[in-house]
Structure 1
Amino acid sequence: MKSDSTGCHGHPAIAGWPCERGMKFAGPQRKSQVVVDFLRESTNPAPRRSPELSCNQAPKVDFRRKSTTLLAPWALQLRLRLASFALWAAVYSPAPIAHAEEPAESAASPPVAAEFVELAVYPPQVRLEHGADAQRVIAVATRADGVTVDVTSQVQWSRAGEGPELLAVDAGVVTPRAVGNALLQAQLGELTAATDVQVAAVDPPGAPEFRHDVMPVFMRAGCNAGGCHGAALGKDGFQLSLFGYDPAGDYYRLTRQLSTRRINRALPDDSLLLQKAIAGVPHTGGKRFTPDDEYYAAIHDWIAAGAGDDAEQAATVESLQIYPPQAVLEGSDAAQQFIAVATYSDGEQRDVTDLAVFLSNNDASAAVGDSGLVTAANAGEAFVTARFDVHTVGSQVLSLSPEAKYEPPAEPPANFIDELVEAKLSKLRVSPSGLCTDDEFLRRVTIDLAGRLPTAEERAALHDDQSPERREHVVDALLASPDFVDVWALKWAEILLVRSEPNRVEYKPMYLYWQWIRNHVAAGTPADAMVRELISASGSSFLEPEVNFYQIEPDAKKIAENAAQAFLGIRVQCAQCHNHPFDRWTMDDYYSFAAFFSQIARKRTEDYREILVFNRGGGESTLPVTGKAMPPKFLGGEQPEINRRDRREVVAEWIASPDNPYFAANLANRAWSHMLGVGIVEPVDDVRVSNPPSNPELLDALAARLVKHEFDIRKLLRDIATSYAYQRTVETTAGNAHDQRNFAHALVRRIPAEALLDCVSQATGAPERLPGLPPGARALEVADGNGGNYFLTAFGRSKRTTVCACEASAEPTLSQALHMLNGNTVHGKITQGGLVKTWLEEGRTPAEVIAAIYDRCLGRAPSEAESQQLLALCGDNEKPVAELEDAFWAVLNSREFLFNH
C-alpha cells in the first residue's frame, strides 16, 4: 500500500477522505486541499440569470472561496467518517438557489378589500326526505380578484314565492315544515343567489338501518381503518372489513359472534359495541364519541329496533359531491365551511358532512377539521377530500398572502402552455422567474432530449443563429436525432419492464422486446397504436416480441395492475383486498378489470427460450368475498360487448382510445415530468382523487394536444420544450422560491443515471465498456434491466422489476458521492481519455487546458477566480498532467456538472 501522497488511482490524494478500496489518503498536499475547497464551497449550480434572450456567453458560476487551514494527520484520522458525509452533503445536495433581490418599490402593500361580484349558494339543489332531515347550506361570495369568502352567516335568507312555509333556515341549516317545492334565496347587498328545495315528506324517520346509518359511523369514527379493527387480523379479538368493503361480513361479526356481548337488544346501552366506543369499559382505541352524539344515537336506536339487516332493501350511494368546488382564501385567519352531499340509488339526497371523513393533503396551507371547516395558514395550495361509503371527492383550496402581488413576465406567452401556467401563477399571486440564457437552454434541452451534453458544434450553431426561432431549431434537431430514440426507448423500456429473468424471460426474447420498442420509437409509431399492438399481442416471443409483456408478469391480476399503472397512471393495487381508501376504485372494479386478462395461456416450444402466448377462450376473475365471477368491465366505464373476441383486444381499444380520459393525460403527464422534473400529477403513475393535478387545465390541454397530434410524442415534447415554462431560469425570487409544483421557475435536477454516465464518458473522451454491447455504445442503450454496472446501480437506474416510476431514482446518496470522489469511473476515464496529456502535448498552457475542461464539461469559460484557483494546483510545473487531471476531476464532481439546470 502506498503511504505517500499519491492515491491508489494514480491521482494526488485528497487529505482525510476515504478510498473505496479501504485506504485513507494521508498526504496533506496544498493542491488537493484546494480541490476539496473547490468542491465543498461550490454552492450554486445555477448560472446567474440574463434577462434577455440573446446569444451571449453562458453566465459563470461563482465558486466562492475562503482560506483553509490544513489539519494534522491525527485530526484527519479523527474526522475521517464525518468528512465523507460532509463532502457528500456539500457536493450532491442541491443547495437553495440564491434569491434574486427585488426592487424596494415592488413590495406590495396590503390590498384594499374589493367589492363582491358574485354570490353562490351550495348545494344547488336540496331534497329533504323526512321530518327530522336537515341540510346545511353555505353562501360563498367572490371578490373581483377571485378571493372567496364564506358569507353564510352574513346573508339574509328568504323563501321566494307565495304559499305555506315549507322550510326553515337556522344558522345555515335547512329543515322541513311542509311537503312541496320552494326556492331558498340568499341576499348580500345587491347580490342574490338561490337553491331549489324539495321537501319529500315530513313524517318521522324510520328506525336506523345497518348499511345506511350504522356502517357510516364505523367509517367516521375510524373503527374499520387499517390501524384499528379493519386490520387484516382485526384488533383485540374483533374484526371489521377494511373501510367497510364487506357489510355482510361486518353484520355477521357484530350480531353472531359474541352476540350477547357486542350488541344487547334488551339493554342497548349495555352493548359492548357502545360501551367500548364511549370508553365506558377499557378500549384500546379510546373514546370515539359520547352518549350525546348522533353517532351513539344511530347505533343505539338500531340495536333497540332489533339490529336488523337491510341487505335486501338498502339503497347504494351512487355519487358524492363536495361544496364549494373551490375556495380561494386570503390571510391566515380565513376559513371556509365545506359540506358533503351523497346521492343514493333510490333518489335520496343526504347531508353527510358529519359522517364523511375529511382530509387535507397540505395542512401547512389549509387544515380541515372533522366536520369540514377549512382554515387557511401559510400561502400555498391544498386539496381537501371527503370520503363517504366507497366514494372520494375533493376540492381545491388556495391560501393567499394579502401582501403577495403577481407580476406578469416581460415576454408574451410562447404558446398555450404558458397561458395556462401563468393563469395558475396569477391565481396564486406567484410571479415567474425570467428566462434562462441560450447556453443554459442548450445544455438543459440536450440532456433532456438526447441524454448527453451539447457539442461545441451545437453551441457554435446556436450562437451563429440570430433568428427568433433559434431555440426551436435546436429542439427540432434533437427530436430528429438518433440520440432521442435512445432516450425515449429507455423511457418505454422502464414502463414495459424490459428485463431478463432466469426460467421466465431469457436474454434473446428480452433483447427482441427491447428492439421492438426501439424500432417503434425510431419509426415514430403513434403511442396509441403501439399500446394497442402490445396489449392484444399473441404469438411467439421470438416473432412477436411484444408478447413478452405477458411473460415478464404471468399473473392476470398483476398484468391488470401493470396495464392500469403503465398506460392509465392509475394504481388499483389496493382494491385487490379492499375498496381503495383514497380513490373511487372498489373490489368489483379491480376484479372486473382483471377479467380482461384472465384467459391468457402460454406454452413452451422446442426452443426453451421461446414461448407462445395465446387466448385460451376460458377462465374468469372471481371476487374473493362472494366467489362470484366478475364480468369484464372498463375502469370507471361500462361493461363492453365481447362477442367471442379476445378480451385483450377489447380492452386494448378502450385503453388507447382518444376518448379514454386517462390514456392521453397519462402520456402527456409523463412527457411533462421528463422535461420539467416534476409531473402535473406527481407521482406520474398515481392518478387518484386525493392526488389531483397541480394544474388541471394544463393537463387537459396537453392531453387534448397529444390527441390532436395523433399521439405523436415528438410533437408534444416540442410544444413543451419551446414553451417559456420550460425555459425559465432556475434562479428564484423571494416570492416563488417555495414553488415546486406550479412551474414558476425551473427545477435543479440530478441527471438520470444512464445520461450521467454518458455525459461523463463524453466529457472525458473515454467511452464506457458495457457488458454485451459493442465499444462506444451508450449507457442509454443497455437493453436489459438486469444489466449495467455499479455506476448505473449507484445512481438509481431502474431495475424494471415493477412498472412504478419510482424505480428510477434521481435522489442523491452517499454511495454516489463516494463513487464519484474515489471510484474507478471518473478517475479511470480521465486517465483513459488522456485529454489533459494531449492538450499539453499540443502546446496549450495550463490556463488554456482549464478553459478546455470547462468548455467540454460545462459549456462555458471559467471565471477569473475559478481559473486562478485551479491554476494554483499547477505551481511552477510546466507539464502538470496530474494537477490538471485533479482539476478535471473537481469539475466533474461539481454540482454544475452533475445536475441539469
Structure 2
Amino acid sequence: MGASSRSLTPSSSRSAGSRWRWWARAAISICSTRCTSYRSAAWRDQTDLRGARRGGKWELRAAGLLLCGLTVLAQAKETVGSIDFGRLVGLQIQCGAARDASAKPELRLTGADAREQLLVNGQFSGGRVRDFTRDVRYQVVPGGVVQVDPTGWVVPLANGKATITARCKEGLSAALPVVVERLQAVVPVNFANQIVPIFTKLGCNGGGCHGKASGQNGFRLSLLGFEPAEDYEHLVKEARGRRLFPAAPEHSLILLKATATLPHGGGRRLDTNSMDYRLLVRWIAQGMPYGNATDPTVDRIEVSPEERTMPLNGGQQLAVIAHYTDGSVEDVTRGALFEANDKNLATVDGNGWVKVFAQPGDVAVMVRYQAKVAVFRATLPLGAPVEHLPTPRNFIDELVFKKLKAVGMPPSDSCDDATFVRRVGLDITGRLPTPAETKAFLADRDAAKRDRWIDRLLGRPDYADYFADDWSALLRNKRSRATQARGTYAFHDWIRDSLLVNKPYDRFVREILTASGSVEQDPPVAWYHQVRDPNAELEDAAQLFLGTRLKCAECHHHPFEKWSQRDYYRFAAFFSQIGRKPGPQPDEEVIYHRRGNPTALNKKTQQPEKPAGLGDAPLDLSPDDDARQALADWMTSKRNPFFARALVNRYWKHFFGRGLVEPDDDLRETNPATDPELLDALAKYFIDRGYDLEDLVRTICQSRTYQLSSLPNVYNVVDKQYFSRYYPKRLTAEVLYDAVNQVTRSDSAFEGLPRGTRAVQLPDDSYNASSYFLAVFGRPDDSSACDCERSQDASLAQSLHLLNAKEIEDKLTSDQGRPHLLANDQTRGDDAKLRELYLWAYSREPNASELAAARRYLDKESAAKPAVGRRLAYEDICWALINTKEFLFNH
C-alpha cells in the first residue's frame, strides 16, 4: 500500500465514528485494486491487501486477488516449455586452435606447463548444440601420456602420442589425437605472463587486499596486476628481498603465507599440490627472472564458445585461449577470472564452469586474463510455444517478436485503451490525462487514435517540461547557493526550450560541450560550473553522452573494459584549454577558450597526451583550435559507435523501466545488451532520422511492444528482460507529487515560483530541501551524471507519508479540493461523481462492485454524520485511491 503520515486513529476533533476509521479505508482501497496485485511480483511485495472491513468480506476478496497472482506463478512453472534439441546424433571434442572446425583436430602439448581444457559438444538432429564436457567418460589409450579429469582438464604425464576418447551414456563417442613433447625442457618462467596472473586469480592484487593503493601489511601489488614491473619491484627487491628465498623456495615467505603455513590475514590461498604453487617454486628456484624484452606478450584472449543457447538449469564449460604477439597460443582457462553479469541467471566457478538457473533471460560472463577481456553470452530460452504474435507495427516489434519466438516467450495481449491513455500520458508528459480527455479517447473509434494521442502529447509543453526535468538532473543543474539561481534557471530554460523546438540531439550535445561565455550569453556553460576540471568533464561527458564509465582508467587500466590510462588522458586533453574568470554576477563564471596546446599529463608516464576520441588516433590541433569543437565533431559523428547507442538505450529505459543494457550508462563489451540487434537498429534509426528525439519517442510509443499489457500470461510472468509485457514502474517523485495534486485538485506552492508550478517544472535541486515529499520519494539532488541517483526503491517513510502526512491531509480537506467540490455538487448523482474520481486516478471508470462498495460507504457515513459525513467520505475515498498500486504505478 502507499505511504504517508495520515493518522490511523480517530482525530480528537471528530467523533469516534469519524471517517478516520482504518478498516473502511482499507475496504475502499481493496476495491480499487482491480487485480493489479498480480501484475508483477513487485506489486504483490509492496501491497498489503489484508486490511479488511469487519466481517471478513473484503479480507476474503483480497486473499482471492493474491491467490490469483500466486496461481499465475504456479501455472508458469508447471507449463514452462523446454528446448526441443531433437535426437543426439554426434559428439565433437574441441581444443586449442582446433576449436575452429577448419583446423586440424589434434592436441599438441609442449613443455611441462602445457595444459588444455577440452570442450565436448553434443550435436542434435534439430541443429542445436549442447555441452557434454562433464557428461562423458574420458579414456586415454595408451595410458600414461596424459591425464584427463572429469571436467575435461588435460595434464601431460610423459612424452608420446595417445588418443583421448570421450563417450556419453547414449553410446556415442568422439576421439582426439594428442601429442606430448619436450616435457623435460627447462623453460624460463616469465614473471608478467605466468606469475602475475596467479596473484590475480588468487585475489592477492584485488582492491580489498594488496592491490589497494596503500597495500596490505606493508606489501603492495598493482591493482589486478596491470603494472607487472611495479609488482616485480615490490615482490623481489622491496624489504631487502625478504619475501623470497631462492636457496629453499618452499620456505619463501610469500609461499608460507599463501599456504597458511604462517598466519595470513587472507587465509589459505594456495595448495601445495597445485600447479600454481609448483610454478612459483620453479620461478623462485630459477632466480626470480622477470623475462626478456623480446618475450611475447598477450595480444588478446578468446573464450570458447562465444555464445550458446542453453537449457534452463543447464551447464557449460568455457575454455580461454591467450593469443601472444608472436602468434603462439596458450590455454589459460585455469588462470582466467570469470564473472557473470546477472547472478540471478547464472553462476560461474573459477574453472570456467557456468551453471544457469530456471530463470529465462540472457546472461553474459566476463572473462579477464591480464589486461584483456572477452565475453561469453548465454541465452536461456523458456521454450514455450509461440503460436500467435501480434502484427508488427515497426522495426522494434519485428526484432522484439523475433527474439520472443527464438526464446519461446509468448507476449501478453495488447493493453486496453484506458491503460494506454494513462500509460503514455505519464511516460511522455509526466501527468495524468483529464477525465474529459480519457472519455473522448475511449469513445473514439478511429483505429489511428493511439497515434494521434501520442502526437498530441508530444506537441504539448508538458513534454518539454517532463524531459527537461530528467535532463536537468543528469546535467547537474545544481544550485548550491541562492546567488546561483540565475544560472540554474537559465540552463533549465535552455534545456526545456531545446526540447520544445525538438532540437536535434547531436546539436544539443554540441552546444553543451562547446559552450563559452556567461550563463546569460550561453546558458549551457552552467554545466562547466559543476564539472570543474578536465577529469570531471571527461568522466561526465563519457558517461552521459557515450554510456562509458572511464573513472577507473584514471589510475589504472579499466578492469572491465579495454580502456587504458592513455585513453583516459587523451580524452581529458579535449578539455585542457578551458579558461575561467569571474562573471558579471556573484558566484558566476565566464568560460573561455584559453590559447595553448591541448594536452593532458599522463600520471603514469608523466608525458603529455594529445586529444583523441576513444579508440581513435591522437589529433594534431593548433593552440588556436578549441579542442572541444574537435570533440563534438568526433562525438556526434555518424561513425561514432557509442553516441547514438547510449541515447536510445537511455530512452528505452525511460519507457520500459529497464534498458537493453543495464545499468543504462554502462555500455561495454563485457556488459552486452539483452538484444544487441535491437539496440543497433534503434541507434541506426536515430542517426538516419537526424537525431530526432521526438521521432524516437513516437516510434517507441507506437510500437506494439510498448503497448503490450502489463498483465502476464502463464509463461511470461517470469520475464525480466525480453519485454514480452510492459513492466510496471513506480511513478517518479515529481510525477507522483503532481498526480496527487491532480486527483485532489491541489496547487503546488514552491518558493519563488508561481502557484501551480508542477514538480516536474522545478529548475534545480534546491526545492528538495523544502519538500519532504520529493525528498522521500527519491528526487535526485543533481550531484552526478548517473540516473542511479534517482531512487525508485519503496520505503516505509514513503508509505507513512502517503497514509498519514499533514501535507496529504491538507490536500484532501481543502475547501477548494476535489473531495469538497464533489460532496457539495448537487447537480450530479454519486455514481457520476465517483466515476469522475476514478477517471482522474486510474483513467478508467469503476467496475460495478467498486461502485457499489463506494456508494455503500457514502451512504453509511452520510447517515452516521449528516452534517459532514458525505464530505468526509469523499475525502476517504480519494485518500484510498491515491494509496493503491494502480495509482502509484504506471502500468
TM bracket (short chain)? 0.7 to 0.9
1:613-634 C-alpha deviation (Å, 9 max, x unpaired): 1232257433334433333332
**Which runs of structure 2 are paired with 1:390-429 in the superposition (5 Å)?**
390-399=371-380, 404-429=383-408
User: Please, which moves more after superposition, 132-141 or 592-601?
Assistant: 132-141
1:309 corresponds to = 290
Does residue 319 of structure 2 align to residue 339 of structure 1?
A: yes
State how far apart, in whole Å, the 1-side matches of 2:13 and 2:256 are: 67
Q: Cα deviation per residue 1:508-533 (whole Å; 9 max; x = unaligned)?
A: 12221112211211111111111122
**470-479 or 609-618: which moved more?**
609-618
d(CA) in 1 for partners of 2:137 and 2:883? 67
Which deviates further from its counterpart, 486-495 or 865-874? Answer: 865-874
Counterparts of 1:48 and 1:436 in 2: how far apart (Å)? 17
Cα distance in 2 between the residues matched to 1:890 and 1:860: 16
> Which of these residues, 434, 452, 463, is aligned with residue 484 of structure 1?
463
Where does residue 54 of structure 2 map in the other structure? 68
User: In 2, Cα distance between the equivalents of 1:651 and 1:197?
Assistant: 54
Partner residue in 2 for 1:849:
833
Counterpart Cα distance in 2 of 1:785 and 1:274: 55
Write the distance in 2 (CA, Å) between the matches of 1:95 and 1:222: 47
Q: Which residue of 1 aligns with 2:142?
A: none
Deviates more, 1:697-706 or 1:323-332: 323-332
- Counterpart Cα distance in 2 of 1:637 and 1:151: 42
- SS at structure 2 position matched to 1:818: helix
SS in structure 1 at match of 2:718: coil
Report the Cα offset of residue 135 of structure 1: 4.3
**CA separation of 1:293 and 1:605: change in aligned 2, threshold 3 A:** same
The verdict on how the C-alpha distance between 1:138 and 1:602 changes in structure 2, with shifts beyond 3 A counting, is: same
Q: Secondary structure at the match of 2:654?
A: helix
Q: SS of the residue aligned with 1:664?
A: helix
SS of 2:245 mapped into structure 1: coil
Counterparts of 1:39-78 in structure 2, within 5 Å, are 41=30, 44=33, 66-68=52-54
Match of 2:854 in 1: 870
The 1:867/1:442 distance shift into structure 2, 3 A limit, reads same
Instruction: Report the RMSD for the aligned CA atoms in angstroms.
Output: 4.1
Q: What are the Cα deviations for residues 238-270 of structure 1, in whole angstroms up to 9, with x where unaligned?
A: 111111122222111111123442111222222
Conserved? CA contact 2:743–2:818, under 8 Å: no
Residue in 1 that maps onto 2:537: 559
Residues 546, 643 of structure 2: 8 Å contact kept:
yes
CA, structure 1 residues 112+509, in 2 after alignment: closer, same or farther (shift >3 Å)? Answer: closer
Match in the other structure for 2:495: 517
Contact 1:325 1:396 in 2 (8 A): yes
| 1:322-721 map, 5 Å | 322-332=303-313, 334-381=314-361, 382-399=363-380, 404-502=383-481, 506-616=484-594, 617-618=596-597, 620-644=599-623, 645-721=625-701
Deviation per residue, 1:332-372 (Å, 9 max, x gap): 3x322101122233333221111101122344543222111
Alignment of 1:741-760 (within 5 A): 741-760=721-740
Q: Structure 2-normalised TM-score?
A: 0.85
Q: CA deviation at 1:668?
A: 0.4
Q: Is the 8 A contact 2:109 2:178 kept in 1?
A: no
Q: Which residue of 2 aligns with 1:115?
A: 87
Kept in 1, the 8 Å contact 2:31–2:849? The answer is: no
* Cα deviation digits, residues 737-765 of structure 1 (max 9, x gap): 22222212212211112222222222223
CA, structure 1 residues 399+836, in 2 after alignment: closer, same or farther (shift >3 Å)? Answer: closer
Count of residue pairs the alignment pairs up: 840
Q: Distance in 1 between matches of 2:544 and 2:181?
A: 47
- Alpha-carbon distance between aligned partners in 2 of 1:586 and 1:633, rounded to the nearest angstrom: 13
Which residue type is aligned with residue 273 of structure 1?
I
Give how far 1:277 is off. Answer: 1.8
Which of 36-45 and 417-426 deviates more? Answer: 36-45
Question: CA distance change for structure 1 residues 787 and 199 in 2, over 3 Å: closer, same or farther?
Answer: farther
SS at structure 2 position matched to 1:787:
helix
Whether contact under 8 Å (1:836, 1:849) holds in the other structure is no
**Which residue number in structure 2 is paired with residue 84 of structure 1?**
none
Extract unaligned runs of 5+ from structure 1: 1-8, 51-60, 71-86, 158-166, 178-183
Aligned to 1:838: 821
Which one of 814, 825, 828 corresponds to residue 796 of structure 2?
814
Q: Report the Cα distance in structure 2 between the residues aligned to 1:318 and 1:457, rounded to whole angstroms.
A: 65
2:32–2:884: 8 Å Cα contact kept in structure 1? no
Matched, 1:892 2:875: no
Distance 2:484 2:852 in 1: 55
Amino acid at match of 2:633: E
- Secondary structure of the corresponding residue to residue 766 of structure 2: coil
More helix by share: 2
The answer for the alignment partner of 1:726 in structure 2 is 706
Please state if 1:215 is matched with 2:215.
no
Q: Specify which of 775, 778, 784 is matched with residue 802 of structure 1.
A: 784
Match of 2:161 in 1: none
Partner deviation per Cα, 1:210-231 (whole Å, 9 max, x = no partner): 1111111111111101222112
Change in 2 beyond 3 A, CA 1:813/1:492: same
Report the more deviating stretch, 886-895 or 148-157. 148-157
* SS of match in other structure, 1:737: helix
- Per the alignment, in what secondary structure is the counterpart of residue 341 of structure 1? strand
TM-score by length of 1: 0.84
Structure 1 residue 62: Cα displacement: 14
Counterpart in 2 of 1:860? 844
> Higher mean Cα deviation, 631-640 or 810-819?
631-640
Give the CA deviation at 1:793: 1.7
Distance in 2, matches of 1:168 and 1:284, equals 38
Distance across 2 between alignment mates of 1:716 and 1:194: 54
Q: Secondary structure at the match of 2:334?
A: coil
In structure 2, distance between residues paired with 1:134 and 1:128: 10
**Matches of 2:52 and 2:465, distance apart in 1:** 43
1:850 Cα deviation from its structure 2 partner: 2.3
Unaligned runs of 5+ in 2: 40-46, 139-144, 158-163
Report the AA paired with residue 114 of structure 1.
G
Identity score, percent: 32
Q: Structure 1 counterpart of 2:890, which letter? A: N
**Structure 1 pair 719–251 and aligned structure 2 pair: CA distance change class (3 A):** same
Equivalent-residue separation in structure 2 for 1:716 and 1:196 (angstroms)? 56
- Do 2:9 and 2:20's aligned partners in 1 also have CA atoms closer than 8 Å? no
Amino acid at match of 2:21: S
One-letter amino acid of the structure 1 residue matched with residue 317 of structure 2: Q
Moved more, 445-454 or 269-278: 269-278
Match of 2:308, SS state, is strand
Relative to structure 1, the CA distance from residue 175 to residue 478 in structure 2 (aligned partners, 3 Å threshold; closer, same or farther) is same
Structure-1 separation of matches of 2:609 and 2:541: 18
Change in Cα spacing, 1:43 to 1:738, as seen in structure 2 (3 Å) is farther
Three-state SS of the structure 2 residue aligned to 1:309 is coil
Query: 8 Å contact 1:218–1:224 — kept in the other structure?
Result: yes
> For residues 818 and 195 of structure 1, do their structure 2 counterparts lie closer, same or farther at Cα, with a shift above 3 Å needed?
same
Q: CA deviation at 1:460?
A: 3.2
8 Å CA contact 1:43–1:63 kept in 2: the answer is: no
- Distance verdict in 2 for CA 1:237–1:674, change over 3 Å: same
Closer, same or farther: CA 466–194 of 1 in aligned 2, 3 Å: farther
Relative distance call for 1:495 and 1:363 in structure 2 (3 A) is closer
